[in-house]
Amino acid sequence: MTESTTQNLLKTDAIIIGAGPVGLFAVFELGLNDIKCHLIDILDRPGGQCAELYPEKPIYDIPAVPVCTGTELTERLLEQINPFHPHFHFGQMAEKLEKTPDGKWRVTTDLGTVIEAGLVVVAAGGGSFVPKRPPIKGIETFEGKSVFYSVRKMEQFREKHIVIAGGGDSALDWVINLQPIAKRVTLVHRRDEFRAAPDSVLKMRALVSEGAMDLKIANLSSIVGTDGQISGVMLQEDGKTPHELACDNLLAFYGLTMKLGPVAHFGINLHENLIPVDTATFETSVPTIFAIGDINSYPGKMKLILSGFHEAALMAKKAFAYVHPDRRYRFQYTTSSSDLQSKLGVADAAE
C-alpha cells in the first residue's frame, strides 16, 4: 500500500476514472486487497448516472436492496467505502494518460492535478458528462472567460452581476448559493415552471419577493461583449421587443450530455466507443489498465449496476497481483475473515 505527495504530484496505487456506482464499488474491492485509490470525475459529486440522470427514481434490481433511489444508492456506496478513505477529485476531467519512465501511469486532469499509480481503472460509464451549449451564436468565444457551464470557484463571482440561465437543479442551486456573495443575481428561464427540487424553487421565489434577486421569464437570444468579456445578454420576453440586461458573467445550465471524451485517446483498444476486456480480469488491451461498468464490452454484457459490481471484484483480484507481486492472493469471506473485518473497522462487532 503506497500513497504520497511530492509537491503537486500525487502518488497512489490505483487511479479510478469515474466516480459512478461502479467506480465507487471498485474502491471497496480494491481496499479489501490493500490497494489505495484516487478517483477523478468531471461531475461535482459522486454517483455518475444515478446522481445526474435519476437521483430521485427508484432502482429495484440491486441485490438485497428491494428499492432505493439513485441518491440513496450513492450514499450507501459512500458509507461502504468510507473505511478505505478514497481521495476524490471532483469537477475535473481526466484528460491525459501517459506512461512514466519507471512504468507507472500518470493521469493529468484539466485542472492540472497530476496523479501517478501502477494501475488505472477506467470506470467512465457512458463517458464524461459535458454541458449542453446554449444555442447562442458566438457563445464559444466567451466560454471559460466570462461564460461558464459549471462553478469551480465561487469566489470568482463575488460582487459580480450574474445571469444564471436554466430551470433545473443546477441553475436553482447556484442561484441560492451565489446570491449571498454576488452583487446581483438574475435567473433567466423560458417559462415560469421549474424542474428543480420544489424546496429550491420556494427558496428562489422567496428571494425574488424579498427583492434580493431578479427572475426573468424570457429566452436568451444573444450575448453582448468583446474579447471574451460579456457586458450583457439580450432577453426576449413574450410580446416585448428584445432588450439588454447588463451583467459580468453568464452561467448557463442547459443540462448535460454524455460523450466518451478523452478516454478515446488513452491508447486503449476501443470497439464502437466501448473498451473490450478480458472477462476473467477486466483488463483492457493494455496491461495494468482495467475497464469496468458501462464503458466496457464483452459477449453478453448487460449495462446494469450489478454487472459492474461483479466486474470490480474480479478486477481487484488481478490488481492485487500487480500491486503486491510478493504476496499470495487468498480468497476470503467478509463474514469470517478477521483480516478483512479489521480492514473494514468492524473486527470487534463481528466477534
Ligand X SMILES: Cc1cc2nc3c(=O)[nH]c(=O)nc-3n(C[C@H](O)[C@H](O)[C@H](O)COP(=O)(O)OP(=O)(O)OC[C@H]3O[C@@H](n4cnc5c(N)ncnc54)[C@H](O)[C@@H]3O)c2cc1C
Which window, 51-59, 181-189, 280-288, 318-326, contacts ligand X (CB under 6 A)?
51-59
C-alpha of 180 from chain center: 26
* Contact string 240-269 vs ligand X (x = CB under 6 A): ---------------------xxx------
Using the minimum distance from each CB to ligand X, give the nearer residue, 14 or 213.
14
Closest CA to 45 of 169, 160, 146, 134: 169
In angstroms, the CA 205 to CA 207 distance is: 5
Using the minimum distance from each CB to ligand X, give the nearer residue, 62 or 217.
62
In angstroms, the CA 37 to CA 254 distance is: 33
Q: Does 294 bind ligand X (CB under 6 A)?
A: yes
In angstroms, the CA 57 to CA 80 distance is: 21
Which window, 53-61, 218-226, 282-290, 315-323, contacts ligand X (CB under 6 A)?
53-61
Q: Does 55 bind ligand X (CB under 6 A)?
A: no
In angstroms, the CA 303 to CA 50 distance is: 13
In terms of DSSP H, where are the helices of 186-255?
198-209
Using the minimum distance from each CB to ligand X, give the nearer residue, 14 or 123.
123
Q: Which of 303, 317, 324, 343 binds ligand X (CB under 6 A)?
A: 303
Nearest distance from residue 169's CB to ligand X, in Å?
A: 15
Specify which residues 40 forms β-bridges with. Answer: 17, 89
Q: Which of 223, 305, 340, 344 binds ligand X (CB under 6 A)?
A: 305
Q: Which of 126, 166, 167, 276 binds ligand X (CB under 6 A)?
A: 126
Nearest distance from residue 318's CB to ligand X, in Å?
A: 18
Q: Does 53 bind ligand X (CB under 6 A)?
A: yes
Non-local (6+) Cβ contacts of 233 within 8 A are 163, 188, 220, 222, 223, 224, 244, 245, 247, 250
Closest CA to 294 of 48, 16, 67: 48
Site for ligand X in 19-48 (CB under 6 A): 19-23, 40-43, 48
φ, ψ of residue 306 in degrees (nearest 5): -65, -30
Q: Are 190 and 218 in contact (CB under 8 A)?
A: yes
C-alpha of 64 from chain center: 26
Q: Which of 14, 15, 16, 124 binds ligand X (CB under 6 A)?
A: 124
In angstroms, the CA 117 to CA 288 distance is: 10
Using the minimum distance from each CB to ligand X, give the nearer residue, 162 or 291.
291
Using the minimum distance from each CB to ligand X, give the nearer residue, 69 or 337.
69
Cell numbers that stand for 261 in this block: 471524451
Which window, 126-134, 193-201, 230-238, 280-288, contacts ligand X (CB under 6 A)?
126-134
Q: Are 50 and 20 in contact (CB under 8 A)?
A: yes
Using the minimum distance from each CB to ligand X, give the nearer residue, 57 or 330.
57
Q: Which of 127, 167, 225, 232 binds ligand X (CB under 6 A)?
A: 127
Residue numbers at the binding site for ligand X (CB under 6 A): 17-23, 40-43, 48-50, 53-54, 59, 61, 93-94, 123-129, 261-263, 293-294, 303-306, 308
